[in-house]
Amino acid sequence: MHFNKNLFALTSKVRDKFFLIIGSGFFAGVFTILQAIYLATIINDVFLKNRDLGDEQNNLILFLAVSILKTVAVWGEQYFASIVVKDVKENVRRRLLNKIKALGQTRLSSERTGELTNTIIRGTDTLEKYFSQYLPQLFLSAIIPILILLFVFPRDLLSGIVFILTAPMIPLFMYLIGSIAESLNKKQWRTLSRMSAYFLDVLQGMITLKLFNSVKSEFKKVFEITESFRTATMKVLRVAFLSALVLELLSTISIAIIAVEIGLRLLAGKIEFIDAMFLLVISPEFYLPIRQLGARYHAGLEGVAAFQRIEAILKLKEPETGNIPVNNLNLLATPITFENVSFKYVGRDENALDKASFVIHPAQTTAIVGPTGSGKSTVLNLLLKFILPTDGKIKIGNLKLNKINDNEWRKLVSWLPQNPHLFHKTIFENIALAKPDATKEEVIAAARNANIHDFIQSLPDGYNTLAGEKGSKLSGGQIQRIALARAFLKNSPVLLIDEPTANLDPLSEEKILEAMNRLMKGRTVVVIAHRLNTVRNSDNIIVLREGKVAGTGKHEELIDTLPFYRGMFTVYKSA
């Protein structure tokens, strides 16, 4: 019946509230039985014993009181369910986001963004009905019928036997139909995830699609995927409606059997009227929990299908994290050493970095050069702890980098990528990401150092101007200077740069280089170099070739001693 232990474990923090749901449902069942008893007593007294309603005042008051108590119990069931659902959804989303944070962008590069988003939002929301409806009903569908049988058997053994014989037919057919629905549900969820991922891909690539006049063909594929999802959904709904029809038919036939059996025996004088009335009133309530379980079975299937995808993400192996603090570590006096470091990306046959050994000297600028695919970006990813070495060691002084606490290490490191990410927030908020508790004066000072303050002030809303999604309202040079302002505000001793002046116009490049030179003073800088001035001005150059270190030294030394570097430098110069 789809009782998933891992799903149930999500209620661990609110297990007491979950059992209060069951308790409320149990008391609602008790009050339902008492309602049937008092109703049968009142009808029996009025119609057979010729008593008027005034004589039944006590029973009527008790009936009304029990009805109110049942209403309170039903409300309590829904109230505690809302608390459990809120906690479970928050817990799942927090775990997913923490997992994504721990995995890092490199590990998640094989996942589709749209599918991850669908899992975090739609997948987590799908769990709501599982915990608020299906899971409590799974318990109550076993408890309530047994409770009712405890009151039925002392009154009429035959009716109790009929209840026991007919009740299993409903879950049996529910299981048979549900096994078909389960495979359809999984297919529907996979189609929805694929559709979400594809929609996001199309939206993000709309400009490219327009340039190549491929919008119509891509929209055709979108419609095909949408149609596939519609078909999968209709198949699931068809089975769900069929299941509801069968369950209602079975419960109706079962109630009819009880009614006919009681009626015939009542006419024959083999059962008391008050007992017959009680059994007739309580028989629909006996089958109701099982019928409700059948009606909510679809929610159970959806919840399990969504959780399988959530669980798959949660089970992804995280890179090892260290716990050594770095409070007393002076990175401006501590070298960073790579000792025979190798790294291989998942799905690739060759190492991206192969037994690389070199030293990044403190308070100096180290340039890393090499052709595409030589391992330059891998070095930065290793230094940022987005990935860990497959083999070898990275040492900060005498400490191994993988043993240092991730969060504390990243506080000491600033990263300037080629394509910085701006959020759909104000420019002030985008800069202040580097230091959430920064004052307005600190943010403005950082913007001045990055040569972006005057431009921001020229905007109608100044620092309160929205940057747009991915900085869509700003130019490439302006985005780079906002990223530089972040680095100035963070003021960390280690600076990692992936040549942010690539693909910029000369005027923007000049402003950025001026700000960068100001930022790099007195810091340990590692820069992936594409420009001649960066190479020439570096204190040390590391030349990578096919993941191996081809040579290290100053520019003049490498020109004289390393033909590979000399040839590469000639290409840079001619470009």
pLDDT by residue (tens digit) across 279-318?
888 988 888 888 787 777 766 777 777 787 777 777 777 6
What's the confidence (pLDDT) of residue 309?
A: 77
**545: which strand partners?**
548
pLDDT(544) > 80? yes
Instruction: Give the helix/strand (H/E) hosting 568.
Output: helix 563-574
Ordered domains of the chain (ranges, CATH): 5-314 (1.20.1560.10), 324-410+495-502+526-575 (3.40.50.300), 413-491 (3.40.50.300)
Cβ contact 171:101 at 8 Å:
no
What's the confidence (pLDDT) of residue 387?
A: 82
pLDDT of 46-82, one tens digit each?
A: 887 777 777 778 888 999 999 999 999 999 999 999 9
pLDDT(147) > 60? yes
Phi then psi dihedrals of residue 194, to 5 deg: -65, -40
pLDDT(572) > 80? no
Instruction: Give the helix/strand (H/E) hosting 394.
Output: strand 391-396
pLDDT of 363-385, one tens digit each?
A: 998 989 888 888 888 899 889 88
pLDDT(573) > 60? no
pLDDT(186) > 70? no
pLDDT of 245-289, one tens digit each?
A: 777 777 788 888 888 888 888 888 888 888 888 888 898 888 888
What's the confidence (pLDDT) of residue 459?
A: 85
**β-strand pairing of 391-396 with 336-343:** antiparallel
Enter the tokens of residue 227. Answer: 């149609």
Q: Sign of the C-alpha dihedral, residues 319, 325, 327, 329? A: negative
**What's the mean pLDDT when you consider all of the chain?**
81
Percentage above 90 pLDDT, the chain: 11
- When pLDDT is cut at 50, 70 and 90, the band that residue 31 belongs to is very high
537 vs 445 pLDDT, higher one: 445
Closest of 479, 481, 490, 480 to residue 437, by C-alpha: 490
**CA 211 vs CA 184, 405, 563: distances in Å:** 39, 46, 42
Tokens 């302006």 belong to which residue? 478
> How many angstroms separate the CA atoms of 516 and 539, rounded?
16
* 3-class secondary structure per residue, 221-238: HHHHHHHHHHHHHHHHHH
- When pLDDT is cut at 50, 70 and 90, the band that residue 104 belongs to is low
Q: What's the length of the chain?
A: 575
11 vs 329 pLDDT, higher one: 11
